[in-house]
């Protein structure tokens, strides 16, 4: 069974998401998705804080600007 967790984080512009997917409780696949903003300072701070709190590897990092 495929299990997907997707979280939208409130960082001001509403487009920062993290997620993970696993099949039958196997190894998780983790990603971060950001749709960009005019200022990257909030993203930089939030991303640094998030990676300190979540020590799991990031398999995909999507950043659109």
The sign of the torsion formed by the CA atoms of 20, 5, 63, 39 equals negative
What is the value of pTM for the model shown? 0.69
Q: Is 6 in a helix, a strand, or coil?
A: strand
Q: Where are the domains of the chain?
A: 2-63
Two tokens at 18? 């993290």
Candidates 9, 61, 16, 60; CA nearest to 40 is: 16
pLDDT tens per residue, range 3-22: 999 888 777 666 788 899 99
Q: What is the pLDDT of residue 4?
A: 92
Chain centroid to CA 3:
16
């Amino acid at each position: 069974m495929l299990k997907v967790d997707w979280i939208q984080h409130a960082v001001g512009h509403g487009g920062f998401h993290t997620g993970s997917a696993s099949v039958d409780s196997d190894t998780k696949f983790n990603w971060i998705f950001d749709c960009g903003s005019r200022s990257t300072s909030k993203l930089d701070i939030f991303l640094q804080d998030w990676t300190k709190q979540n020590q799991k590897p990031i398999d995909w990092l999507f950043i659109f600007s």
